[in-house]
Amino acid sequence: MTNWYSLPTYYDISFSHEMYEELAFLKRVFRKYSTKSSLNLLEPACGTGRLIVPLSKHGFRCTGFDINSYALKYLEEKLKRNKLKATLFAGDMVDFSTKYRMFDGAYCTVDTFRHLLSEEQAKQHLLNVAKGLKKNGIYVIGLHLLPKQGITTKVSRWVSKRGRLTVKTSMTLIGQDNKKRTETLKVVLNPFTKKENNKYESIYRLRTYTLRQFRRLISTTKVFEIDSVYDYDYDLTSPVVLDEKSDYGVFILRKMG
């Protein structure tokens, strides 16, 4: 069993799949909420930098941290190859500090927030992000929600290519504990070329949130308020109103005070 986060090349190819709308949305969001020409952005659990690299190319000053040393090394090399600069450091999503640097915005997408497996961890994370944001700074969180009927997608599959390398990815829900509010997922990465064909499996857990549970979490921390919400379409001109049947949301949180 291999931790797929420790396979940065394959992970990066897999999760850079069809990210154009997500990236365009983030660029528009941060420019909407600030009149500054150059914005400082923070990405917790930045991984291989699938977003840091293109955002840096578009003039944003990015800082990212991650607990995985393989991912950070890969990102450092990727930035160097592209002649880009970003500030990187090793850090955990719960126990991190941005020291004296303040940010205009932060973002955490594709369910990364759900790696925080307890209410206490999630609250501490939000408090730490808020400490690093300027007044009225925003935090963009994208995550799948548990709809009222409790049904989530069992299997997701996609294929990504970069040069001669193709990566097939499958993500399967193999367990759900509603009392502990966790899902257990198995990910299979199948990277191959004309000469090689490999397969790696990884199992990990995520915390579940209904819409009500996520809203309650935000309100109890008393550092953010929900400014607006969007869905899969990433249409900044059309915020949505989620209900208990909704299974995905992109939340724009604004720092209070």
We report the CATH number of the domain holding residue 11 as 3.40.50.150
In this prediction, residues 166-185 reach a mean pLDDT of 95
The total of structural domains in the chain comes to 2
166 bridge partner residues: 161, 192
In this prediction, residues 177-183 reach a mean pLDDT of 95
pLDDT of residue 3: 77
CA distance 105 to 149: 34
Q: For residues 130 and 161, is the Cβ–Cβ distance under 8 A?
A: no
The reply to whether 169 and 97 lie within a common domain is no
Q: Identity (one letter) of the amino acid at 10?
A: Y
CA distance 209 to 188: 24
Q: Identity (one letter) of the amino acid at 121?
A: Q
CA distance 183 to 152: 10
The reply to whether 47 and 62 lie within a common domain is yes
CA distance 62 to 249: 24
pLDDT of residue 151: 57
Rounded to the nearest integer, the mean pLDDT of the chain is 94
CA distance 68 to 177: 27
The reply to whether 136 and 225 lie within a common domain is yes
CA distance 37 to 8: 32
pLDDT of residue 86: 97
Tell me which residue has tokens 């409790």.
150
Q: What is the pLDDT of residues 65-92, one digit of tens each?
A: 999 999 999 999 999 999 999 999 999 9
Joined together, the tokens standing for residue 8 give: 């940065």
Phi-psi region of 226 (alpha: psi -120 to 50; beta: other; left: phi over 0): beta
* 33-37, 111-115, 143-147: least confidently modelled range: 33-37
CA contacts within 13 A on the Cβ side of 156: 9
pLDDT classification of 160: cutoffs 50, 70, 90? very high
Q: What is the pLDDT of residues 209-226, one digit of tens each?
A: 999 999 999 999 999 999
DSSP 154: S
Joined together, the tokens standing for residue 162 give: 């970069």
* 13-17, 182-186, 235-239, 247-251: least confidently modelled range: 13-17
Q: pLDDT exceeding 70 applies to what percent of the chain?
A: 98
The reply to whether 165 and 202 lie within a common domain is yes
The reply to whether 133 and 19 lie within a common domain is yes
The reply to whether 164 and 74 lie within a common domain is no
pTM assigned to the model = 0.95
pLDDT of residue 1: 60
Joined together, the tokens standing for residue 224 give: 């953010």
To which H or E segment does residue 131 belong?
Answer: helix 119-132
Residues whose CB is less than 8 angstroms from the CB of residue 143 and which lie 6 or more positions away in sequence, other chains included? 111, 113, 114, 209, 214, 248, 249, 251
To which H or E segment does residue 221 belong?
Answer: helix 211-221
The CATH number of residue 168's host domain is: 2.20.25
Instruction: Choose one of 207, 230, 247: the last residue of a domain.
Output: 207
pLDDT at 199 > cutoff 70: yes
What domain range includes position 81?
A: 4-147+209-255
CA distance 130 to 151: 33
Joined together, the tokens standing for residue 93 give: 């999503």
Q: For residues 147 and 178, is the Cβ–Cβ distance under 8 A?
A: no
**DSSP-derived 3-state class of residue 143:** strand
